[in-house]
Chain A
Amino acid sequence: MIEVKNLTKSYIFKGKRSYVFKDLSFKIERGQSVALLGKNGAGKSTLLRLIGGIDQPDRGSIVADCSVSWPVGLVGGFQGSLSARENVTFVSKIYSGTDTDKFEEKVEMVAEFAEIGTYFDKPFKTYSSGMAARVTFGLSMAFDFDVYLLDEVTGAGDAKFRQKTKKILKEKQEKSDFIMVNHTLWGLKFNCDRALILHDGKMMEFDNLNDGIKEHKRLMGIA
């Protein structure tokens, strides 16, 4: 269960404080996967970062009694000058728990999943967005989290990668939940039960995903 209470986050830009959202409260139970919808800049990624614990809110609290992944996305978490292998080794060492020598296994797992051949040993900044998505997604799937935070990662990549993603997400869903942000919406339909819409700093909750998507399209003005 992840419980968010009175969450407020703002940024100061050129001396002016602008709020991303104010006093946001909601609750996500175990066993539900949630689609996070909203237009660009509505604060979806910020919310994921706050839940993942890598950014701090101005006010409010986030309480979780389960393990939460880092926000898996195209940006962040990888050092451009290092290769994917080195980056993955780094993360595996952090999350290796008490078996401190198990990280090599994880690295092989990610390399197998990513299927990018020799690029796996080249600097990360030389990767195309598809290759980056394969590595970042593969890395997050190598560990068993209770809740995964996925930030548009399934949107990139070719048809084969999508096929693979679909398969592995289905496997993971038996034990874990997702909080997904996705603009292409196809990934959400397979994996999510509920929808949350962030609009103008407010949160709307929908128990049915299709209702949520309908409302989202209405707000975007495309349906």
Chain B
Amino acid sequence: MAKEKLEYYFPDDYPENLRLIILQRKDLLEKGYYKKENERSLVIWIILNGIKEYPGLLKGDIVQNEFLYWLSKNSSDKYFSKLPRIILGIWDLNRSIRIRFPKPNENKFFLNWIKIKFDFLTLGIPKYSVFFPRIEHFSNIDYFLFFLSNIFWKIKLIALIIWYPRRVIDGNISGIPVAGNLNGFQIQFNVIRALIYRELKTRISQVRFGVLGVFLEPIGVFIIFCTIFALIRGKRADIDIELFLACGIVLYSMFQEIAIRSINAMQANEALFFYRPVKPIDTVLARTVVESCIFGIVFVVLISLIFLFKEMWVLENFALVVIAYLGLALFSFGLGLILMIIGHKFPISRQILPLFIRPLWLISGVIFGVSRIPYNLRPFVTWNPILQAIELTRYSFTSGYNVPVDVISLSYLWTFALIISTFGLFIYLRNEKFLLTK
């Protein structure tokens, strides 16, 4: 009896252990899984059966395990060549995902969407971070837009919460404002513009050297710490130490200025509530705008100086810097609103609250990076959205900066900021009448 000799030609990139498994099993060979065109069915088989039959198959990470590496690479399918094999397999398997994203190859948001859902799929496969440890599109503008579209109704709700009462209350009592019947947005715009004008006038007259004095304080702190770190401790960070410190100090100072100034926002602007369109929330809003602009300028000045005299940095992800900065500003606004109400309700807290805010300096990653913290201690610092914003800013300068992607994320920062600001707006609305009562 002539021995039947079969030649199996695998595609080049098939890992060794996969070839062995297929060669050992007749049923797989019969299905033709060694052929390139059956790759999609092979991935489906792996997810459904392979993991159960060969428990050790997906152990380890992509550096050690060739098989994991193969799954995380782009598919050789001619229609879906942009998708990694594992994600295409999940898409093939899951009917609801197929209905939601009929053309995953063309939909920009699909990859970002699956990134979030990946770890919640009950397929028994390893976590997303195992397949994609360093994510290429860590957080780009697409991701931000996707995120916004997802929470769009929440933002609408927040907008409604802010504007609607203003229109109703103003319509009821004081009636029409001066120049005809303006809508809430026009009133809000005028008030914020006027408050920013006033805020800048007082801010500049408070310190010496006028406008320059406003910028001198954070720059002074920066120089002192540069001296301590660069001369005494020596360079130990993954990025230029001055850049490292500039991100931390500027972002933290912005938060602290907004938070601490908001506690006294009501008292400092007592005289201004004399004009009906000015509401307590406007003072916090104006302070947030003014402080975030001032520290934005400080940041640009500092990094430009570093560029000229020290390190020729390249900003790898401009969008991430802006989005993280705005996220932190939103968080500070929400917290400022809450602090203002507490400060008004319990006058004693005006002395106590700064005592709680200032120590945040030490745990907000101003002078350390998360990667320097031992793994088991990370949860104690990473809850902090200020630290998240600071680390994201550093990461956006160079992806060589070591950030543990499993604990630092843009969506955490923004979710935290939105929750805090929504909560702030909620308790503000409950207390607006109280705040305006003398």
Q: A63-B173, A90-B272, A95-B190 are in contact. List 11 more A-B contacts (CB 8 A).
A: A53-B276, A54-B274, A62-B173, A71-B274, A76-B271, A79-B272, A89-B194, A93-B194, A94-B277, A95-B277, A99-B179
Within residues 58 to 108 of chain A, which ones have a CB less than 8 A from any CB in chain B? 61-68, 70-71, 76-82, 86, 89-91, 93-100
Closest Cβ–Cβ distance, residue B174 to chain A (whole Å): 5
Contact pick for A100, options B173, B190, B195, CB 8 Å:
B190
Tell me the nearest residue of chain B to A63, going by C-beta: B172
List the A side residues contacting B207 at CB < 8 Å: none
> In the complex the two chains form, what is the Cα distance from A207 to B264 in whole Å?
47
List the A side residues contacting B275 at CB < 8 Å: 54, 70, 77, 91, 94-95
> In the complex the two chains form, what is the Cα distance from A98 to B202 in whole Å?
26
Assess whether A68 is in contact with B175, with CB atoms less than 8 Å apart. yes
Within residues 179 to 213 of chain B, which ones have a CB less than 8 A from any CB in chain A? 179-180, 182, 186, 189-191, 193-195, 197-198, 201-202, 205
> In the complex the two chains form, what is the Cα distance from A67 to B187 in whole Å?
14
List the A side residues contacting B318 at CB < 8 Å: none
User: Given the interface contacts A66-B175, A77-B271, A82-B202, does A94 sit within 8 Å of B190 by beta carbon?
Assistant: yes
Flag B231-252 by CB within 8 Å of A: 1 or 0 each: 0000000000000000000000
Indicate if B353 sits at the interface (CB-CB under 8 A): no
Assess whether B179 is in contact with A95, with CB atoms less than 8 Å apart. yes
Assess whether A64 is in contact with B182, with CB atoms less than 8 Å apart. no
List of 8 A-B pairs having minimum Cβ-Cβ separation, nearest first: A97-B179, A93-B194, A77-B274, A56-B437, A64-B175, A53-B276, A53-B174, A95-B178
Within residues 99 to 128 of chain A, which ones have a CB less than 8 A from any CB in chain B? 99-100
Indicate if B28 sits at the interface (CB-CB under 8 A): no
> In the complex the two chains form, what is the Cα distance from A157 to B189 in whole Å?
36
Assess whether A95 is in contact with B274, with CB atoms less than 8 Å apart. no
Chain B residues within 8 Å of chain A by Cβ, number: 34
Assess whether A76 is in contact with B179, with CB atoms less than 8 Å apart. no
List the B side residues contacting A64 at CB < 8 Å: 173-175
Indicate if B273 sits at the interface (CB-CB under 8 A): yes
Indicate if B161 sits at the interface (CB-CB under 8 A): no
Assess whether B193 is in contact with A100, with CB atoms less than 8 Å apart. yes
Closest Cβ–Cβ distance, residue A58 to chain B (whole Å): 9
Closest Cβ–Cβ distance, residue A95 to chain B (whole Å): 5
Tell me the nearest residue of chain B to A64, going by C-beta: B175
User: Given the interface contacts A55-B438, A67-B174, A99-B179, does A94 sit within 8 Å of B186 by beta carbon?
Assistant: no
List the A side residues contacting B191 at CB < 8 Å: 94
> In the complex the two chains form, what is the Cα distance from A96 to B276 in whole Å?
14
List the A side residues contacting B202 at CB < 8 Å: 79, 81-82
Assess whether B174 is in contact with A52, with CB atoms less than 8 Å apart. yes
Indicate if A206 sits at the interface (CB-CB under 8 A): no
Tell me the nearest residue of chain B to A57, going by C-beta: B437
List the B side residues contacting A86 at CB < 8 Å: 197-198, 201
Could you tell me which B residues sit within 8 Å of A by CB distance? Answer: 172-180, 182, 186, 189-191, 193-195, 197-198, 201-202, 205, 271-278, 433, 436-438
**Could you give 27 example pairs across A and B, Cβ below 8 Å?**
A64-B175, A70-B276, A71-B274, A77-B271, A78-B271, A79-B272, A80-B271, A81-B202, A89-B194, A90-B195, A90-B197, A90-B272, A93-B190, A93-B193, A94-B190, A94-B277, A94-B278, A95-B177, A95-B179, A95-B277, A96-B190, A97-B179, A98-B182, A98-B186, A100-B189, A143-B178, A146-B176
Q: Name the prevailing secondary structure of the B interface residues.
A: helix
List the B side residues contacting A77 at CB < 8 Å: 271-272, 274-275
> In the complex the two chains form, what is the Cα distance from A66 to B437 in whole Å?
23
Chain A residues within 8 Å of chain B by Cβ, number: 39
Assess whether A67 is in contact with B272, with CB atoms less than 8 Å apart. no
> In the complex the two chains form, what is the Cα distance from A183 to B119 in whole Å?
76
Q: Name the prevailing secondary structure of the A interface residues.
A: loop
Could you tell me which A residues sit within 8 Å of B by CB distance? Answer: 49, 52-56, 61-68, 70-71, 76-82, 86, 89-91, 93-100, 143-146
> In the complex the two chains form, what is the Cα distance from A74 to B278 in whole Å?
20
List the A side residues contacting B271 at CB < 8 Å: 76-80
Assess whether A91 is in contact with B194, with CB atoms less than 8 Å apart. yes
List the B side residues contacting A98 at CB < 8 Å: 179-180, 182, 186
> In the complex the two chains form, what is the Cα distance from A48 to B193 in whole Å?
27
Assess whether A76 is in contact with B178, with CB atoms less than 8 Å apart. no
Of the candidates B182, B201, B273, the one having the most CB atoms from chain A within 10 angstroms of its own CB is B201
Assess whether A67 is in contact with B193, with CB atoms less than 8 Å apart. no
Tell me the nearest residue of chain A to B271, going by C-beta: A79
Tell me the nearest residue of chain B to A124, going by C-beta: B271
> In the complex the two chains form, what is the Cα distance from A180 to B98 in whole Å?
72
> In the complex the two chains form, what is the Cα distance from A96 to B278 in whole Å?
14
Of the candidates A80, A90, A98, A143, the one having the most CB atoms from chain B within 10 angstroms of its own CB is A90
Closest Cβ–Cβ distance, residue B89 to chain A (whole Å): 57
Tell me the nearest residue of chain B to A92, going by C-beta: B194
Closest Cβ–Cβ distance, residue A61 to chain B (whole Å): 8
List the B side residues contacting A53 at CB < 8 Å: 173-174, 276
Assess whether A97 is in contact with B177, with CB atoms less than 8 Å apart. yes
Tell me the nearest residue of chain A to B190, going by C-beta: A94
Tell me the nearest residue of chain A to B270, going by C-beta: A76
Of the candidates B180, B182, B190, B436, the one having the most CB atoms from chain A within 10 angstroms of its own CB is B190
> In the complex the two chains form, what is the Cα distance from A63 to B174 in whole Å?
8
Assess whether A67 is in contact with B177, with CB atoms less than 8 Å apart. yes
List the A side residues contacting B193 at CB < 8 Å: 93, 100
Closest Cβ–Cβ distance, residue A192 to chain B (whole Å): 21
List the A side residues contacting B180 at CB < 8 Å: 97-98
Tell me the nearest residue of chain B to A62, going by C-beta: B173
Contact pick for B194, options A49, A61, A65, A90, CB 8 Å:
A90
Closest Cβ–Cβ distance, residue A152 to chain B (whole Å): 15
